[in-house]
């Protein structure tokens, strides 16, 4: 037995190959749920956006500062 | 890999048609899940990564060229999402439940298996992925290179480095491999 074969045998004995099972549940609803969650605005997002707009309306010169970060 | 879907379905997917996306999900779900599971080696984590991967695909659909292979593109996204999961698990110090083997053909003692498993988990995420796919799952270098979007030479080099690191780590523990 070569050293490589022995290492592979040991490795496969400790971390065996995966037998891919059939899907246990329908995961499509989870994909849709994640899509909706990530595309909806949270209250925090809306609050931050409102704060930025309000700040820029009162201090338009700060737009330069904001633009610097993009 | 699976048969490629027809071009009109892919065009509809790129335009954001959710029905087309669902058809693609149904067609590729099993294949992508199996691939992810081979990398993350934990059924619960693999389910979560599967959802994340398809969500990333939908979010990035505008970048998909419908004249190219959807299966290969999806597998690349899934591999990146799985790599993120391996990194996250490593940061959190998680062990992988599926690493408990049912009945190996050539059984090693439990202590020895634990040591080898620990050495495997000490590999960097990039080396761990190629070790899992090439050494354990016996996937071809070309398939791994395509999924990781790297040259075959890089895969070979990572397999060599992973093997060397495993051997060195096991030698440190007094195990000759």
Under an 8 A CB cutoff, do B136 and A12 touch?
yes
Out of B47, B166, B170, name the one closest to residue A27 (CB). B47
The per-residue pLDDT for range B20-59, each reduced to its tens digit, is 999 999 999 999 999 999 999 988 899 999 999 999 999 9
CA-closest candidate to residue B106, choices A12, A35, A63, A56: A12
B106 three-class SS? coil
For residue B131, the SS3 value is: helix
- State how far the Cα of B19 lies from the Cα of B17, in Å rounded to an integer: 6
pLDDT over 50 (residue B102):
no
**In B, which residues are within 8 Å of A15 by CB distance?**
41, 99, 101, 116-117, 120, 132, 136
- Residue in chain B closest to A26 (alpha carbons) equals B26
With beta carbons less than 8 A apart as the criterion, state whether B54 and B43 touch. Answer: no
- Half-sphere CA count of B41, side-chain side, radius 13 A: 28
Looking at beta carbons, which residues of chain A come within 8 Å of B51?
27, 30-31, 34
The number of CA neighbours under 13 Å toward the Cβ of A8 is: 14
Q: What is the pLDDT of residue B96?
A: 54
Which DSSP category does B133 fall into? Answer: I
Contacts 24+ apart (CB under 8 A), B92-97: B94/B42, B95/B121, B96/B40, B96/B41, B96/B42, B96/B121, B97/B42, B97/B43
Answer whether B166 sits within 8 Å of A20, measured CB to CB: no
Which of A11, A21, A38 minimises the CB distance to B136?
Answer: A11
Alpha carbons B108 and B105: distance in angstroms, whole number:
9
**Chain A: nearest CA to B166, how far in angstroms?**
8
Number of helical (H) and strand (E) elements in chain B, helices listed first:
8, 0
A37 versus B57: the higher-pLDDT residue is B57
Among B158, B113, B101, B116, smallest CA distance to B133 is for B158
Whether the pLDDT of residue B18 is over 90: the answer is yes
Nearest to B119 by CA among A13, A3, A18: A13
Asked if A23 reaches chain B (Cβ–Cβ under 8 Å), the answer is: yes
Entry pTM: 0.79
Average pLDDT of span B151-162 = 97
Between chains, do B116 and A30 touch, taking CB under 8 Å as contact? Answer: no
Residue B135 near residue B159, CB atoms below 8 Å: yes
Partner B, chain A 33-62, Cβ-Cβ below 8 Å: 34-35, 38
DSSP state at residue B6: P
Place of tokens 């440190």: B172
Collect all residues of chain B within an 8 Å Cβ-Cβ radius of residue A38.
55, 59
Query: Chain-wide mean pLDDT for chain B?
Result: 88
Is the model's pLDDT at A20 over the cut of 90?
no
Is the pLDDT at B103 greater than 60, yes or no?
A: no
């Amino acid at each position: 037995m070569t050293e490589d074969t022995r290492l592979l045998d040991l490795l496969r004995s400790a971390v065996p190959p995966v037998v891919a099972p059939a899907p246990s549940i329908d995961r499509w609803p989870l994909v849709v749920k994640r899509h909706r969650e990530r595309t909806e605005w949270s209250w925090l997002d809306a609050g931050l956006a409102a704060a930025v707009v309000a700040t820029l309306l009162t201090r338009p010169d700060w737009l330069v500062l904001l633009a610097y970060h993009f | 890999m699976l048969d490629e879907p027809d071009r009109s379905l892919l065009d509809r997917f790129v335009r954001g048609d959710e029905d087309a996306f669902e058809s693609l999900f149904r067609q590729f779900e099993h294949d992508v899940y199996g691939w992810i599971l081979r990398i993350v080696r934990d059924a619960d984590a693999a389910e979560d990564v599967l959802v994340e991967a398809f969500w990333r695909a939908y979010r990035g659909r505008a970048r998909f060229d419908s004249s190219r292979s959807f299966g290969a593109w999806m597998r690349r996204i899934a591999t990146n999402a799985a790599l993120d999961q391996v990194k996250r698990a490593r940061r959190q110090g998680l062990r992988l439940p599926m690493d408990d083997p049912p009945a190996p053909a050539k059984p090693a003692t439990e202590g020895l298996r634990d040591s080898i498993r620990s050495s495997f988990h000490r590999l960097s995420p990039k080396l761990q992925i190629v070790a899992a796919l090439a050494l354990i799952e016996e996937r071809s270098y070309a398939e791994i290179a395509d999924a990781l979007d790297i040259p075959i030479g890089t895969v070979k080099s990572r397999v060599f480095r992973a093997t060397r690191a495993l051997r060195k780590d096991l030698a440190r523990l007094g195990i000759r491999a």
